[in-house]
Amino acid sequence: MSREVREKIGLFCNVETEAVIEGRDVETIYELPLHFEKEGLDKIVLEKLNIKANKADLRKWTRFVHRVKEPKDRVTIGFVGKYTELKDAYKSITESFIHAGAENDVAVDVKWIRAEELDGHNVQELLGDISGLLVA
């Protein structure tokens, strides 16, 4: 973002020009701390709050983001649930898959399976290609 644009935004939002930061779209939400650190948000906030602090060490976080974005392998987890069409109903679980996958350097693909559709006749068809199963 150009200095001129920052000045204009600062003027109309009653914010100091140096405190105007750019919030770009990122591939994954986990990139935001890295992006905001590059924009100097941490320094701006600390200065405004008059807090002295050392520079943040984001090396572990950077490695985590790298594993999320570029995993070495993939696994598929079957997810059996009653409300699988409402993915947000299981958001905390799907986010935990991202974290667990990153810790193991794999991407976790979720195969959504409605509980009502699973029966003794289609178990192999629905579950035959998965690496693990979670029933919620």
Tens-place pLDDT, residues 70-116 = 999 999 999 999 999 998 999 999 999 999 999 999 999 999 999 99
What's the full length of the chain, in residues? 136
pLDDT of res. 1: 87
Tokens 């935001």 belong to residue: 32
pLDDT of res. 77: 97
Q: Which residues on adjacent β-strands are paired with residue 108? A: 75
Bin 105: left if φ > 0, else alpha if -120 < ψ < 50, else beta: left
Give the pLDDT band of residue 21 (cuts 50, 70, 90). very high
Whether pLDDT at 23 is above 90: no
More confident residue, 67 or 24: 67
For 35, phi then psi, to 5°, come to -65, -45
CA neighbor of 107 nearest in space, from 66, 61, 76: 76
Supply the angle between the helices 59-69 and 91-103 in degrees, to the nearest 10: 110
d(CA 76, CA 78): 7
Whether pLDDT at 120 is above 90: no
Q: Specify the pTM.
A: 0.81
Question: Strand order of the sheet with strand 73-81?
Answer: 106-114, 73-81, 132-135
